[in-house]
Amino acid sequence: MKVLVTGGLGYIGSHTCVQLIAAGHQPIVIDNLSNSKLEVLNRVEAISGVRPVFHQGDVRDEAFLAGVFAEYDVQAVIHFAGLKAVGESVAKPLEYYDNNVNGSLVLARAMRSAGVKNIIFSSSATVYGDPQEVPITEDAPTGATTNPYGRSKYMVEECFRDLFAAEDDWSITLLRYFNPVGAHSSGTMGEDPQGIPNNLMPFIAQVAVGRREKLAVFGDDYPTPDGTGVRDYVHVVDLADGHLAALNALTDKAGLHIYNLGTGKGSSVLDMVHAFSAACGHDVAYEVQPRRPGDIAECWASTAKAEQDLGWKAQRDVSQMTVDTWRWQSQNPQGYQE
Ligand SMILES: NC(=O)c1ccc[n+]([C@@H]2O[C@H](COP(=O)([O-])OP(=O)(O)OC[C@H]3O[C@@H](n4cnc5c(N)ncnc54)[C@H](O)[C@@H]3O)[C@@H](O)[C@H]2O)c1
């Protein structure tokens, strides 16, 4: 089927395009290249043997979207496009709400005009805020997030909830990702943050490859087994497969569906540092610093609902995540080059 993939040249979008093509679907990619490079298209083509259709443009541009829907017989949309840096969102709330919330509304309006009512949206475990219990199930309370990025995800979820309440012929799937990491096993595609990485794994990888001196570990006095924060890391290719499962299970089945995409297992910051050292064959330097405001102690997913309804379960463990990240980082020390 023809699937419009917004933000399809980004980290998760590019891996999802590869999995879509492998499954016989045709991704139509749009991206404004604010956080990605055209080189990604070459990499997707090299892996898949198919060069996806690509149009450079912005999801907030309704006329641009109308043109894309008019040109292709799109049956479903996977909506990755957005800004994702928590710290930056505190400094630039208007940009985050405009891109993430307004962008999703413009997209939904353009979809309705085009008669396309199947959408999968990239939400985040951040909508759960500081969870009352782990593992976190999909019916846990949401909305108590502490930063504009998290609130933008929560707001888009609420907008889609209200849209479905008003127009029940939509099929809307909200996927709440836990912590996506890893890279394609070829070593040719992976996460390529611009500037200082916001997330743990790319930071560790850049220390390991010599681009940065050492990792800052924020807090070692949390109530966790080794005192450092615990998260549910999920391999990006498993995550991409989760989108495929959602697409297969739900397209054209009207409803509002919500799934966690995680592994159901928690790993601490130091677990990840040690796993990465094993993958790259040398120590990764780190230094403990005070806790950061807003960080929570631990968080991992209940995966039962996705497994039961979508038949999806993450296959790759932490060792695979670090081995694949290291292959990508060591083969592309400066990320994608154009
Ligand atoms: N990576 C994570 O840790 C994580 C966790 C939870 C949720 N998410 C969400 O998943 C989605 C994809 O994340 P990612 O890690 O692949 O991020 P990414 O930045 O690598 O990819 C997003 C892509 O969207 C593009 N883009 C941004 N704004 C756009 C706009 N207005 N119009 C068109 N294109 C635009 C960027 O150029 C980029 O290629 C995001 O919505 C993100 O918030 C990511």
Q: CA-to-CA distance for 243 and 123, rounded, in angstroms?
A: 12
H-helix or E-strand spanning residue 277: helix 269-280
Residue ranges around ligand 1 (CB below 6 Å): 6-7, 9-13, 31-36, 58-60, 80-82, 84, 99, 103, 122, 124, 177, 180, 199
The string of pLDDT tens digits covering residues 38-54 is 999 999 999 999 999 99
DSSP string, 191-232: ---SSS-SSHHHHHHHHHTTSSS-EEEE-S-SSSTTSS-EE-
Q: Which fold has domain 2-181+234-262?
A: Rossmann fold (3.40.50)
Q: Give catalytic status of residue 72 as yes or no.
A: no
Task: Name the one residue in this structure whose structure tokens are 């932490």.
Answer: 318
Say whether pLDDT at 252 is over 80.
Answer: no
Task: State pLDDT tens for residues 6-23.
Answer: 999 999 999 999 999 999
306 pLDDT tier (thresholds 50, 70, 90): very high
> Can you give the residue ranges of every domain in the chain?
2-181+234-262
Catalytic residue among 96, 97, 149, 154: 149
Distances (CA, A) of 135 to 186, 290, 325: 32, 26, 26
Rounded to the nearest angstrom, the distance between the alpha carbon of 167 and the centre of ligand 1 is 27
Q: Is the pLDDT of residue 295 over 80?
A: yes
Coil, helix or strand for 145?
A: coil
pLDDT in tens, 196-231: 999 999 999 999 999 999 999 999 999 999 999 999
